[in-house]
Chain A
Amino acid sequence: MQLEANHVSFRYGTQQWLFRQANFTIHAGEILGLVGPSGVGKTTFGRTLAGYETPYEGTITLDGVPVSTQGYQPIQLVMQHPEKAVNPKWKMRKTLNEGWEPDEALLAKLGIDQKWLNRWPNELSGGELQRFCVARALGPDTRFLIADEMTTMLDAITQAQIWHAVLEIAKERNMGVLVISHDQHLIHRLCTRIIDFNELLDHGMVRT
């Protein structure tokens, strides 16, 4: 199984192009790192892959077939700010079980304490919330996980714990992971392949 972006271009409204004609492939079971300077469009590219943004031109395909917008999405995105990605009016148990019901083994692997399930989001720290967001995105139908600066704001121990769990699950299920990060050490440590965002764009195209 592979996730492909074919000649994908994007811009917000009528602003300047963020990226044009980007081509990209990630295979199942691959841990791929995406690096590039700030503001170059990495996050937007990740959002486009996960279906949060509709590309201006080009297609996103899974095994050659466009991804359906209905039902649980096989491409899940974990965002940088977990506090924005959970409903502040929901208890954590409801947030966690929104897409599927993770078993206790997974929760333990991610270091989620059972007591946290009955708390409100503002009673947990960013790192604790991010664990919930990761667990939520790791449903049985997830084929690709896009980790957009997933652990940037966390301390080293939490980072290690979360990545350890994610890599283990990715290996178990043959799931592809796209790591978008500024952290060179992290990317070199995790990834089997690293690409620069600018390499995705067709050579000879001038970004305007």
Chain B
Amino acid sequence: MQLSNLRVFKQKLNKRQRTLLVSILFSLILCSVVLTGFLLNEDRIATNLEVRNASPSLDHLFGTDWLGRDMFSRTIMGLSLSIGVGLIGAIGSACISIILGVVAATMGKVADSIVTWLIDLFLSVPHLVSLILIAFTFGGGFKGIVLGIALTHWPSLARVIRSEVMQVRSLEFVQVSKKMGKSRWWIAKEHIMPHIIPQILVGILLMFPHAILHEAAVTFLGLGLSPHEPAIGIILSESMRYLSVGMWWLAFFPGICLLIIVRMFDKVGDHLRMLIDPHNAHR
């Protein structure tokens, strides 16, 4: 009964309102996760051998591990760490793609072919491979993983920005602006930027889940963050040994939480992308 009410309520809203609703919900959850992650005391995850291997209960929502550490706190801390890595990585990546995309679109044919070649090169290698290589080169840890993510996730966004800038540049009002004696810089700032900023924002949002998942994957493989940090990847890889003895909660809850966060980013990004796309916007 309640579920059908919810569905009716959802159908009543148009796409704009639904996007707004989803974004607000999402940012609330995100903020609470990050805030709790920062505010949680280190001793919440201190070893407590008296409650080792406890299954989920009211005291320990996600159970405890083989050292008696509270899995709920560890998961939240891991998530906020992942979100931090994802955020810095995605913003770094976006900066690279903006610079390269704009250079390709405005600096002539040679620059364009070099950037296009770079994009193709990076896209032809699986993200994970180049990510591991780069993270390894920079010595692993937080710095390595963030640099790795920033340096591997830019190509698809750079391609979008390149084509978008090219398209806006050829529009009539931009050409008229040139004849009005406006400088290239002025045109880029006043005419072109406002048209590509929505694309960039959506690009960052859609890059985020990739960044988080890749961070977790590389950490899981032992090439990312150091083992004493409460990262989701670390939690998952440690729990592997205990799954066979029936301690399912060690992997299940952190995994589900990671999935939820990633799905939410995807959903919000998709909603926004559809809104700024003129072909779908009116539906």
Chain A residues with a Cβ under 8 A of chain B: 50-52, 70-73, 76-77, 79, 81, 84-87, 89, 95, 98-99, 136, 139
Contacts and interface: CB of A to CB of B under 8 A. Distances in A.
Of all A-B residue pairs in the complex, the 3 with the closest CB atoms, nearest first, are A99-B180, A72-B181, A71-B181
Given A50-B179, A77-B179, A98-B180, 13 more contacts: A71-B181, A72-B179, A76-B179, A84-B172, A84-B173, A85-B176, A98-B176, A98-B177, A99-B181, A99-B182, A136-B176, A136-B180, A139-B180
B199 to A, nearest CB: 14
B171 interface: yes
A42 B48 CA distance: 85
Given A79-B172, A85-B173, A87-B191, A70 B179 contact: no
B191 A52 contact: no
Contacts of A98: 176-177, 180, 182
Contacts of A79: 172, 176
Contact of B179 (A73, A81, A84): A73
Contacts of A52: 175, 179
A72 B181 CA distance: 4
B194 interface: yes
23 contacts: A51-B179, A70-B181, A72-B179, A72-B180, A72-B181, A73-B180, A76-B179, A77-B179, A79-B172, A79-B176, A84-B171, A84-B172, A85-B176, A87-B173, A89-B194, A95-B173, A98-B176, A98-B182, A99-B179, A99-B180, A99-B181, A99-B182, A136-B176
Interface of B is mostly: helix
B263 interface: no
A89 B180 contact: no
Nearest to B191: A87
Interface string B175-210: 111011110000000010011000000000000000
Nearest to A84: B172
Nearest to A87: B173
Contacts of B171: 84
A71 B182 CA distance: 7
A51 B180 CA distance: 12
Nearest to A77: B179
A99 B190 CA distance: 13
Contacts of B172: 79, 81, 84-85
